[in-house]
Copies of this chain bind each other. A is one copy, B any other.
Amino acid sequence: MDDPVDAAILTEVSRDPRATLAQLSESVGLGVSAVQARLRRLEHSGVIVGYRAILDPEAVGKSLSAFIEITPLDPSQPDNAPELLEHLAEIEACHSIAGDASYILFVRVGTPRDLEALIRDIRLAASVSTRTTVVLQTFYENRPISLPGA
């Protein structure tokens, strides 16, 4: 599905989505027009889901992050916790997992008090118990996906 050229485009665009077509073109050894067409196809076909700016959490007042495992209090109820929690903007990610808990969230807040409030909101919104693991230090995150054919 991905030939080497597409893989090269994806690798480059993962590291710098704001590179010009000319720069991409140079990296992958194809004309600007061809790169543009491939990039458009990769976007439209859903291989490229979107683009993000990576912000420094400290600089934007989100210095505290944590993992929150959650488990429904009443297993007999329909479980749609992910949708019930989606409106909480502090939640950056939500996965269902194999393990003791049902889901794990990754959250970012400014202060311990914000975390306390968020945990309360989560419990109320989704009728779940929580188990929170505070992040002490982040060594790296948001590293680009490494592609096989790169």
Contact = CB atoms under 8 A, between A and B. Distances in A.
A91 to B, nearest CB: 7
A47 interface: yes
A139 B62 contact: no
A97 B54 CA distance: 22
Interface string A42-74: 000111111111111101111001010000000
A76 interface: no
Given A17-B53, A54-B52, A104 B133 contact: yes
A7 to B, nearest CB: 8
Contacts of A142: 52, 92-93
Interface of A: 1-2, 10, 13-18, 45-57, 59-62, 65, 67, 82, 86, 89-99, 103-104, 106, 108, 110, 133-148
